[in-house]
Structure 1
Amino acid sequence: MTKKRRRSVHLHVMVTPEEQALIADRMAEAGISNMGAYMRKMALNGYVLHVDLSDIWELVALQRRCANNLNQVAVHANTYGIYPSEITALQKDYAALWEPLSELLKKLSAVVSL
C-alpha cells in the first residue's frame, strides 16, 4: 500500500545546465536546500524572502537574561530588603528595553508572513 501524498500532482520542467546552476545559486542565497520547496515558492509567490534574524534572536536572548536578572533582584529584595526605588528603576529600564524590541519583532513577523 502506498502512502497518500499531500501533493499528488507531479510537474516536470526542463532547464539548461546554466539555468540549473543559476537556480542553485538563488536557492543558496535564499537559504533553501530543497528544490521542490524552492520551485513551489517561486511558482506560487514569485519570490522568496530570506531574512537573517540572528541579531534579533540575540537581542531576545539578552532581554530574557535581563528579565531573569530583574527577577533575581526582586527575590533578593523580598528576602533581604532593598530600596523600592531601585526595583522601580530596574523595572523602568527593562520596560524601555523591551518595548522597542517588541515593536520590531511585530514588524518583522508581518514582513516574513507576506
Structure 2
Amino acid sequence: MKQEAQQLEKNRVRKRSMMIRFTDDELQFLKEKMEDAGFSNNREAYLRKMALDGYVIKQDFAGLSDVVYQLSRIGNNLNQMTRIANTHGDIELSELKEIKKGIDQIWQLLTSKA
C-alpha cells in the first residue's frame, strides 16, 4: 500500500498543493456551484478551473456620488417648493425649471456611465 502511494506521488503531474479553509455554508454553496457547472464529483478540478480561468467582477460605484449629490439637491428643492406651496398656495415656474434641470443632469450622469 505504501509503495503504491509513493508510485502515485512520483507520477503526479501537479506536485504543488495549497490549503484553503471554508465554513460549512461556504462548502454547501461550493457544492451547489460545482453541480451547476458539471463538476459534481471532482472538487479539486473545479477549484483549479476557477482559480486559473475564473474572473472577479470589480464594480466601480465612484460615479454614484455625483448622482447622490444631484438627488440630494433635487430633494432639497422639492422640500422648499412644498413649503412655499403650503404657505402661499402657488409655486414659481422658475423653481419647477430648476427641478427639471437637476433631473436632466442626473439623467445625463446615468446615461453617460452606462
TM-score using structure 1 length: 0.49
Bigger-Rg structure (1/2): 2
